[in-house]
Amino acid sequence: MGNYFEVLLFLLTGVVFVFVGLGVASLFRPALPSTPKQSIYECGMRPFGQTLGKFRVRYYIFALVFVVFDVEAVFLYPWAVVFREIGLVGFVEMLIFLGVLVIGLVYAWKKRVLQWS
């Protein structure tokens, strides 16, 4: 527990800091909604056309797949640096991690997320 106490303290401090900041902001902010404040603002001009544009979900899914494999690279680099010191247990853990990612990749492939058409 001694090794993780600092991490837990840092996490709790961050959470408290966020909630205190949100609470203070909600106390001091002006709550005066008016018609000009709630109107749509588009680059200093009056909006023309439909203001809610359609955006394909495919972009979000593709970005999510990118983030997953980007995080994989973040985990693989430190693992490769300490590969000789962690032994068989670390190797098996990384194989499990990579197996889960491969299952996710196969799922994305079957759902045709990676095909841009």
Give pLDDT tens digits for 33-72: 788 777 776 676 666 666 666 777 778 888 888 888 888 8
What does the pLDDT read at residue 57? 76
How far CA 35 is from CA of 18, 32, 39, 99, 108, in Å, comes to 31, 10, 6, 54, 45
> Tokens in use for 78?
């430190």
Q: Nearest Cα to 108, choosing from 73, 64, 76, 72?
A: 64
CATH number at residue 100: 1.20.58
pLDDT more than 90, % of the chain:
23
> Tokens in use for 90?
């670390």
In a domain, 70, yes or no: yes
Mean pLDDT, rounded, of the chain:
84
Give the global pTM. Answer: 0.49
- Tell me how many domains the chain contains: 1
Structural domain boundaries, residue 50: 2-110
CB 101 within 8 A of CB 72: yes
Q: 20 pLDDT band (50/70/90 cuts)?
A: very high
In a domain, 115, yes or no: no
Nearest-angstrom CA–CA distance, 81 and 20: 39
